[in-house]
Amino acid sequence: MLNRKLSVAPMLDWTDRFCRYFLRLISKRAVLYTEMVTTGALLHGDREHLLRFDPTEHPVALQLGGSDPKQLSQSARLGQQRGYDEINLNLGCPSDRVQSGRFGACLMSEPELVADCIKAMCDSVDIPVTVKQRIGIDHLDSYQLLRDFVGRLSLAGSRTFIVHARKAWLQGLSPKENREIPPLSYATVYKLKHDFPELEIIINGGITSVEQCDAHLAIVDGVMIGREAYHNPWILAQAEARLFGEVTALPTRHQVIEKLLPFVELELAAGVPLNRITRHILGLFHGQPGARAWRRYLSTHGFKKDAGANTILKAAGLVVAKHPAM
C-alpha cells in the first residue's frame, strides 16, 4: 500500500518528469503525481513521451483526464503496464479548455458517469484508482451533495479521495482565481473523514508549512502540497523529517545539486535543453541568503545553447561564495 501521508499535487506544465526527478532527491517518501494526461492524448499520441518516468521517482502516480469509461479503462491499463503505482482521476481542474473536453471539475455534476468511469478503471487494473476533486462546483456545493458523491464513487471502487478544500466556479474565474478566491473550508474535508472513516481522505489547498501538515494529519490521512512544494521545495525535506520521523541527516541543498548533475548530463546528451530542467530548480534556495543570485544566474544562462551541467555548478558556486556556511 502507498503511504500517502505526504504527496505533491499534479500541476500542469510543472510536475513533468524533470521536476519529479528533482523533487525525489529532496523527499524519499512523498508520492509524486504527473501532470494531467488526457485519455485522447494517451491513446492517440506519443505514449512513450507522455508516460516516461525514471524508476527513482517511485512512488509515482499517473493522473488522467477524461470522461469516457472505456478510454479511461484503456488509459489506466497503459499506466499500470508502464509501472505507475497509482492511477488518479482529475475531477478538480476548472479551466475552460478542460471543461470543453468534458473532464475535470465539471464532472462533479455527473456522479453516475464518474462512478462508471471509476468502476471501469478499477476493473482494468490492480493498482489503486484514486480521485482528486473539489468540495463542490458552482451552486452544487452542499455538503450532502459532496457526501453522496464520495459515497457513490467509493461504492464504484475508489478508496482514496484527495480533496481540494475549495469549491470551483466553472464560469467567471480563471484557474488561478479558482485557487485563491473561493474560500478554503478545511472543516468540510474533516467532516468527510468523520463520515467515511474507512476511506483514505487526503486534504489539499493552501498548505504552506510543515506545521499545517501536522495539524491536518491529526484529523485526515494525508496532505497534498501544491505550489508551495514547487516554489519552496525544501518544505518536502522538512516534512520528511517531521511527518515520517526520519532520523538520518537531511541532505544539504548542495548535495541535492550534486545528485542531480548525472541526470542532467544524461538528458543533455539526449538533446534536452538545460532550461527544461533548471526552470524546476529555481526555488531550491528559497528563503535562504543567496537565493536571488542562484535564480538570476540560472534564468540568465540556463537557456543558452552552450548551457550545461557546469551552468548549475556556477550558479551554486555563487551561493557558496557569498554564504560559505550553507
pLDDT in tens, 26-79: 999 999 999 999 999 999 999 999 999 999 999 999 999 999 999 999 999 999
In 3-state terms, what secondary structure has residue 276? Answer: helix
Short-list 167, 166, 89, 85, CA closest to 121: 89
Quote the mean pLDDT of the chain: 94
> Biggest alpha carbon distance in the chain?
60
Count other C-beta atoms under 10 Å from residue 287's C-beta.
Answer: 10
Radius of gyration of the chain from its Cα atoms, rounded to whole angstroms? 20
Catalytically annotated residues: 93
Short-list 91, 93, 159, 81, CA closest to 122: 159
Q: 154 is written with which cell numbers?
A: 467509493
Fold of 6-244: TIM Barrel (3.20.20)
* Phi, psi for residue 155 in degrees, rounded to 5: -65, -25
Q: What is the pLDDT of residues 156-168, one digit of tens each?
A: 999 999 999 999 9
Q: 265 is written with which cell numbers?
A: 548530463
How far from the centroid of its chain's Cα atoms is residue 31's Cα?
A: 8
Rounded to two decimals, the pTM is 0.95
- DSSP secondary structure code for residue 238 in this structure: H
Pairing of strands 37-38, 31-33: unpaired
For the chain, the domains span 6-244, 253-322
Burial class from Cβ neighbours inside 10 Å (0-12, 13-18, 19+) for residue 207 reads buried
The pLDDT score that the predictor gives to residue 324 is 45
**Alpha-carbon distances of 169 from 100, 162, 269, rounded to whole Å:** 15, 19, 45
Q: What is the pLDDT of residues 237-277, one digit of tens each?
A: 999 888 887 667 778 999 999 999 999 999 999 999 999 99
223 forms beta bridges with 6, 203
The domain made up of 253-322 is a member of CATH 1.10.10.10: no
